[in-house]
Structure 1
Amino acid sequence: MDASTEQLIRTAIAEDVGSGDVTATYFVPADSTARAQIAAREPGVLAGMEVALRVFREIDPKIEVNARMSDGSAFVPGDVLMDISGPTRGILTAERTALNFLQRLSGVATQARRYVEAVKPHPVQIWDTRKTTPGWRLLEKAAVKAGGGTNHRLGLYDHVMVKDNHLAAHGGLPELQAAINRVRKERPGTRIQLEADHLEQVAGFLTLQGVDMLLLDNMGAARLREAVELNAGKLWLEASGGITLETIRDIAATGVNAISVGALTHSARALDLGLDFI
């Protein structure tokens, strides 16, 4: 588990527990022990199990936790996801924080799985975006992978994405080529992607050297098919912009290589999971 996730867990616990769990301290005997389970109350795809386990262990190392399923597993209502036993106070104190992580991340994995299933049998990847909850990016992108999706760039540092506002501030094709050449010289191995809003841009970008992929933004299925024909297999093509479960199959049928969907993370609903004492 990376350091940023460990810090996020500690921050979440501190946010909820503060100076101490007043209710558990005064209404649960100090020597009380219990057994509990986290179970699904609706169908979905699991993600965030290791984080949830870590929350219980951080609250009280005496709590024993056992995962019944691993990330990426599909579940139905009534399925038990985790067994918990140990000090009752600790279980109650950890309950909400553990569930917050598990419900949110399973919601992202479930959303990703819906989109992945929707494009079958077309050989197209479903990509996530940077539209993530601040501080949760690594966790949410891991949840996308658990759901069968593919991670796009992690941040501004690992992948060049020249979007419309960059183009407006930069200049024409000669200036673009010069900048691409500098990236290739100073940051070898960095992927370079350009955003195209219309077919004329696609044609112009295809004359450049050193480009890895194009982002075809807010193009309908008809124009995407034209862009695919124009590209003729030269560059990797990503479609993006307002794509929903209702429209994604038509987009997948155009022949693009990938479809990025911000809704995988920014619109995923937390699933209904619950902790109950046995």
Structure 2
Amino acid sequence: MNAVVRTHQTARNTAIPALPRDAVETILRTAFAEDAPYGDITSATLLPADATATAWLVAREPGIFSGGDVFAAAMRCQDPDADVDQLVADGAGFTTGERIMRVAGLARAVLTAERVALNLTQRMSAIATQTAEYAALVAGTGARVTDTRKTTPGLRVLERYAVRCGGGHNHRFSLSDAVLAKDNHLAVLTGGDPAKLTAALRGVRAQLPHTVHFEVEVDRIEQIEPVLAAGVDTIMLDNFSIAELVTGVAVIDGRALVEASGNVNRDTIADIARTGVDIISVGALTHSVRALDLGLDIAIEA
């Protein structure tokens, strides 16, 4: 993993758009309503109200960090005057034992916020780290690694941000953002008659404003030409073999963007990228991550 982190650090040269503050605050309100609905009885019982503490977010394993603003906002939800410093930038690598964040404030607040802050930054950093690994495997091919809508309900904005921290890209954020006609849509639209595919898709295209992106999923080579004839923007080649992807890219021949989806993992992504596809969507970036091991250590004064 260290090699991937070093490659990622030298490869990143673009700014990561900031997280929307209102979205972060909404997520934190929900998280604290769940974790401390009537306050933190343990901290309130054990600790004096005016006791203060300094704590460090420390890496127990290497990775790519994501979630500095989330950590800080979680702490300030409990203590608005908390002093929070970020020592490792979002999108940067860290090593085992490295200090990533520092917080100083009311001890009760720090300990009440600890689990929510850790849960979110551990997951975000895991996504960023895994994305960096996938992105490193396609480096130099021109293919973009993108996420999917296979995200944790309520946390999509954080998980999508983490993908960008890892050097990946985002697909459509929601069902409201673009048209993506998948196999079930086409089955209803055409009644299962492939001869109706082009005309049906042209009817869809005619209804859309010019600003709306139109993508169609295909699962067979013979669907490509009828879909192209409808004037779509992107064709998703779903669960194609490597040989079929090569053929599909040649058939499309630059007339639309080409997305590969399905059966994408660490063992297959490099071969997929070398077929010439433009986009590789990877659900595993967000739906199959193990939380990265980060801990909050209280500074003990001698």
TM-score over 0.5 for the alignment? yes
**Shift of the alpha carbon at 1:140?**
0.7
Aligned length: 274
Task: Tell me the residue number matched to 1:208.
Answer: 230
Residues 1-278 of structure 1 mapped to structure 2, 5 A cutoff? 1-171=20-190, 172=196, 173-183=198-208, 187-209=209-231, 211-278=232-299
More displaced, 199-208 or 235-244? Answer: 199-208
Cα distance between partner residues in 1 of 2:83 and 2:134: 36
TM norm structure 2: 0.89
Moved over 6 A (4+): none
In structure 1, what is the Cα distance between the partners aligned to 2:66 and 2:298? 22
Aligned twin of 2:8: none
Deviation at 1:6, TM superposition (A): 1.3
* Cα distance in 2, alignment partners of residues 112 and 145 from structure 1: 8
AA aligned to 2:153 is P
Deviations 1:161-211 (A, max 9, x none): 00000000001221211111111xxx22100001010100012212222x1
- 1:103 aligns to what SS in structure 2? helix
Partners of 1:159 and 1:10 in 2: CA distance: 30
Moved more, 6-15 or 160-169: 6-15
SS in 1 for 2:259: strand
Cα RMSD of the aligned pairs, angstroms, is: 1.0
Report if the CA contact (8 A) 2:201-2:227 is conserved.
no
C-alpha contact (below 8 Å) 2:242/2:271 kept by paired residues = yes
TM-score (norm 1): 0.96
Identity of aligned residues (%): 45
The Cα of 1:64 is off from its aligned counterpart by 1.1
What is the identity, as a one-letter code, of the residue corresponding to 1:121? G
Amino acid at match of 2:210: P
Structure 1 pair 222–133 and aligned structure 2 pair: CA distance change class (3 A): same
Name the SS of the counterpart of 1:274 in structure 2: strand
Amino acid at match of 2:97: G
Q: Deviations over 1:52-85 (max 9, x none)?
A: 1000001111321111122101111111110111
Aligned-partner SS, 2:235: strand
Offset at residue 3 of structure 1 (A): 2.5
- For 1:162 and 1:175, the matched residues in 2 are separated by 11
